[in-house]
């Protein structure tokens, strides 16, 4: 598999995706931005990333799915829902041939924000 190219921003990343996937990626982006409006958008590891006191969430397009990282697979409130999707310990893969669960993405982002803020508070940071 060829390495992913370098992108200067999320707009460029989405523009490089197949035309039929671009609307889905734009909606994933809007969903994350609405759930975490204070998070900073960037490219990290050559994929879209959101930072808030450190890494919050990432997403990436693949030929047959969209991945969201990190997925809270160990959290009790997500166990059943995330079990319906492929992915590793910290990843969830949403197949492109099924509706993307934007509500689930919102809840995952808000969960990650809560954990992020708790970590920042424990380190004595403010946010």
Q: Is the pLDDT of residue 126 over 90?
A: no
Region 31-48: mean pLDDT is: 96
Per residue in 59-108, pLDDT (tens digit) is 999 999 999 999 998 888 898 999 999 998 889 999 999 999 999 999 99
In this structure, are residues 9 and 51 in contact, taking their beta carbons and an 8 Å threshold? Answer: no
Give the domains, in start order, of the chain with CATH numbers: 10-118 (3.90.1150.200)
**β-pairing verdict for 47-51 and 65-69:** unpaired
């Amino acid at each position: 598999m060829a390495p992913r190219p370098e992108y200067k921003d999320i707009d460029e990343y989405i523009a490089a995706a197949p035309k039929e996937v671009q609307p889905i990626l734009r909606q994933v982006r809007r969903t994350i931005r609405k759930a975490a409006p204070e998070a900073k958008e960037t490219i990290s590891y050559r994929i879209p990333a959101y930072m808030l006191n450190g890494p919050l969430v990432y997403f990436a397009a693949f030929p047959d799915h969209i991945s969201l990282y990190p997925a809270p697979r160990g959290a009790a409130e997500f166990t059943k829902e995330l079990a319906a999707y492929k992915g590793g310990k910290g990843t969830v893969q949403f197949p492109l041939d099924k509706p993307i669960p934007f509500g689930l993405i919102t809840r995952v982002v808000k969960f990650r924000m809560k954990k992020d803020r708790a970590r920042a508070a424990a380190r004595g940071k403010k946010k």
